Structure 1
Amino acid sequence: MIRQAVIFWGSIILAVIGLIDSPQFLTTLIIPVVLLAVVFLLYKYPPSRGRSKQPKVKPSARTMAKVAESRKTSSSASKRRKEYPFYVIEGHKGKQEDDNIPKYH
């Protein structure tokens, strides 16, 4: 098992050395790999979008009270029922008028 691992890693090292020594290695393999790595890193860790340029300002107590008041009024407005022009017609489907009739015959 150890002998196979040594042969495998030795051949991988020799293949890498052979690729590096070839003159076309930079243009055919390294440049696309580097570009893909840069795109992946920018996708994974995007640059900040100017958030650090604006200083953080703590809102005053009056401002927070206004915000809390506006949240209370908007939440109560959403809880109101909207009036629709539709109404429910009560039917008799599924209702038994006589209790003596069993549900399943």
Structure 2
Amino acid sequence: MGRIKFLFPNKHDVYLHDTPSKSLFSRSYRAYSHGCVRVQDPMDFADALMKNEPNISRASLESMIGSSERWVNPEHKIPVHIAYFTLRVQPDGNITSYADIYGHNAKLISALNK
């Protein structure tokens, strides 16, 4: 099965994509995509993105999987905002800390201390 990719304009050539390595989603260290963002449930994500697109259905998207590269251009612009967090509050209230692989925390702490 071919991967599903979600491309969006950005100066870093980052895109969102499916992965054949689903087991990576259960790991606490998940920086295996070389800068791109892995999408855990790409068809569910596509459904959410295309909910206002009358000419793009889940069935039409699923029919494209495994074929040569195909493009789907929605009529409506979809804003993309990527958030980077190194802490997560669990449902039980405990906080889980993740590695700051990009070093953003040190920059933020330095800026806040000025």
Structure possessing the higher radius of gyration over alpha carbons = 1
TM-score of the superposed pair, with normalisation by structure 2: 0.18
More strand by share: 2
More helix by share: 1
- Larger RCO (CA under 8 A, 6+ residues apart): 2
TM-score of the superposed pair, with normalisation by structure 1: 0.19
